[in-house]
Structure 1
Amino acid sequence: MSHIAYVNGQYVPHRLARVHIEDRGYQFADGVYEVMAVIDGQPMDEELHLDRLEVSLDALSMENAMTRRVLKIILREIIRRNRIRDGILYLQMTRGVARRDHAFPARRRTALVVTARPATLPPQEALRAGVHVITLTDTRWKRCDIKSISLLPNVLAKQQAREADAYEAWFLDADNFLTEGSSTNAWIVTKAGVLVTRPANCAILSGITRLGVLKVAAEEGITVEERPFHLDEARAAAEAFLTSTTAFLLPVLKIDDKVIGNGQPGKLTTRLLHRYLEKIKTKKKR
């Protein structure tokens, strides 16, 4: 089966997909993106992802490549053409092609690329065994709420995590408070059973799975505090976990060299995971 991509109005074999060398995404990382989980052939939380896409586009004064209705048709067509049952859907918009100049071009047309690939969601081994994270100084820019394709600090952090045999790197601000992971949101559970995560502001990306977990916590009557939390508090926590579109919710059993709790997935983490997975099953039936 041929792997199909959508590139600026055309469905093309993935191996033949091309963008112009003066696309501003290629030269300036002048673009935004979204990643959606595909479950049973359907994009999960599609409206929330497209809402966030609009927020990112507005922040960069960039026009959407098309109406939401047409974009949703393309997303489903890419899923269909690639015969994706469970997998990952990626869409990227850039400011398009123009002669290289830092300032916005006077005439511009937003470029769009969409791809999809099969994947097992969530990653089963990490789900069963839990994961290890390392911490690194946050060297990113001050608008992490924009889902920009400019991801070099995240790439370097993820590579450091891999070289340390860790699943993820969590970033620390100048005062050693955790912000988020290179591609995940960070959570802890205090010994009093309070769920803590960083508030959604310019220091983090407001994750779609993060929103889903907050909703589940509210429905379960779990006390939640959206506030900065220090590395020392995280290391002393009863439980920790991370969330993302493709990881869903994974227990964190070790931060740097410190084992969290008893070194096993915690009760509250497990409860939230099961309820979140139940929510996904409900969405699949709609």
Structure 2
Amino acid sequence: MNIAYLNGAFLPLADARISVLDRGFLFAEAIYEVAAVIDGRLIDSASHLARLERSVAAIDLPLPLPPAQIEAAQKELVRRNGVTQGLVYLQVTRGADITRDFLPPEGLEPTLFMFVQDKDFLNAPGARDGIAVATMADQRWARRDIKSTGLLAQVMAKRAASAAGAQEAWMVEDGFVTEGASSTAFILTDEGVVTRPYSRQVLAGCTGLALTALAQESGIAIVRRPFTVAEALAAHEAFIASASTLCQSVVRIDGQKIGDGRPGPVAMRLRELYIDFARRTAV
């Protein structure tokens, strides 16, 4: 039985109920996080909780619990579900408002919802064989640093990528890759590993942040600058990072092979380093 968490209670996921007047449903006035679980423990928890705090602060949304208590609830959720490898999804909304006004009344109680999913990302085919990405125009709003549940543009991009035979979409703005629909984008050039600097234009990826730190510790240069689609097509390697994929090589972009069309050694090494880091630092 899949157990969920809703506003302080652990209950069967099928029994979890949220009001249709919840502002997360009506306005997408909600923030979410997804944390990986390996060996039954949370990965990069401090980084995910810090980003959660930044996102809710950006929309003036109070957390219903302190981060330490949220983490404790996540651990208990993992324990109750017996998850050894998978994901914990967390969402906090402004709460239910019977007026459906753009300006919510004072004193709304936020909604906090969490559930888990089993996912074998350590042995995923994409980790072994690499993945394909398709590029497309970035149609998202201007505050991409806020991890909002308003994901329609990303859903549309994922559907278009899937129709093109790809597993991920890379968003492009003014000729430069911003990021993946649900991942951080990287390429390897003669300069080193190139990835876009964090700003309001992209989400600060927790996995990507850890990955770049591990790369620097192992002597791999990190260059934070935008890169073009043409640069990505000419790169030695390309790869993505996210909580649900860890680190995966990109072997084709818009149908064109990257390098020799196989997962590259740098991306594979960074994946190994990240998995080792994850197991050493998990809580």
| Same-fold status (TM-score > 0.5) | yes
Aligned to 1:179: 178
Asked if structure 1 preserves the Cα contact closer than 8 Å seen for 2:133 and 2:254, the reply is yes
Distance 1:14 1:273 in 2: 32
Aligned to 1:120: 120
Moved over 4 A (4+): none
Asked if structure 2 preserves the Cα contact closer than 8 Å seen for 1:79 and 1:116, the reply is yes
Asked if structure 1 preserves the Cα contact closer than 8 Å seen for 2:191 and 2:223, the reply is no
Distance 1:161 1:122 in 2: 23
Distance 1:155 1:222 in 2: 33
Report the CA distance between 1:193 and its aligned residue.
5.1
Q: 1:156 to 1:119 in 2, by over 3 A?
A: same
Q: Structure 2 matches for 1:237-252, cutoff 5 A?
A: 237-252=235-250
Distance 2:275 2:130 in 1: 16
Asked if structure 2 preserves the Cα contact closer than 8 Å seen for 1:33 and 1:90, the reply is yes
Identity of aligned residues (%): 39
Report the CA distance between 1:163 and its aligned residue.
1.6
* TM-score, structure 1 normalization: 0.95
Q: Which amino acid aligns with 2:245?
A: A
Aligned to 2:227: 229
Count of residues paired in the alignment: 282
Aligned to 2:206: 208
* TM-score, structure 2 normalization: 0.96
Q: 1:275 to 1:70 in 2, by over 3 A?
A: closer
Q: Which amino acid aligns with 2:27?
A: F
Distance 1:158 1:82 in 2: 29
Q: Structure 2 matches for 1:140-179, cutoff 5 A?
A: 140-173=140-173, 175-179=174-178
Deviations 1:47-73 (A, max 9, x none): 111000000000000001111232122
Q: Which amino acid aligns with 1:234?
A: A
Q: Which amino acid aligns with 2:153?
A: P
Report the CA distance between 1:123 and its aligned residue.
5.0
Q: Which amino acid aligns with 2:220?
A: I
Distance 1:206 1:135 in 2: 20
Is residue 2:53 matched to residue 1:57? no
Aligned to 1:44: 43
Asked if structure 1 preserves the Cα contact closer than 8 Å seen for 2:168 and 2:181, the reply is yes
Asked if structure 2 preserves the Cα contact closer than 8 Å seen for 1:239 and 1:260, the reply is yes
Distance 1:73 1:213 in 2: 25
Distance 1:93 1:122 in 2: 28
Q: Secondary structure at the match of 1:229?
A: coil
Q: 1:212 to 1:78 in 2, by over 3 A?
A: same
Aligned to 1:276: 274
Distance 1:62 1:281 in 2: 32
Asked if structure 2 preserves the Cα contact closer than 8 Å seen for 1:122 and 1:246, the reply is no
Report the CA distance between 1:249 and its aligned residue.
0.5
Distance 1:60 1:152 in 2: 19
Asked if structure 2 preserves the Cα contact closer than 8 Å seen for 1:123 and 1:247, the reply is no
Q: Which amino acid aligns with 1:21?
A: V
Deviations 1:121-173 (A, max 9, x none): 23521111111000010000011000001100001111111122211000000
Distance 2:23 2:124 in 1: 37
Q: Secondary structure at the match of 2:52?
A: helix
Q: Which amino acid aligns with 2:131?
A: V
Structure 2 gap segments, 5+ residues each: none
Deviations 1:173-231 (A, max 9, x none): 0x2100001100000001x1511001111111111110111111110111111001011
CA RMSD of the aligned region, Å? 1.2
Distance 2:90 2:4 in 1: 10
Structure 1 gap segments, 5+ residues each: none
Distance 2:192 2:76 in 1: 43
Asked if structure 1 preserves the Cα contact closer than 8 Å seen for 2:6 and 2:113, the reply is yes
Larger RCO (CA within 8 A; separation ≥ 6): 2
Report the CA distance between 1:87 and its aligned residue.
1.0
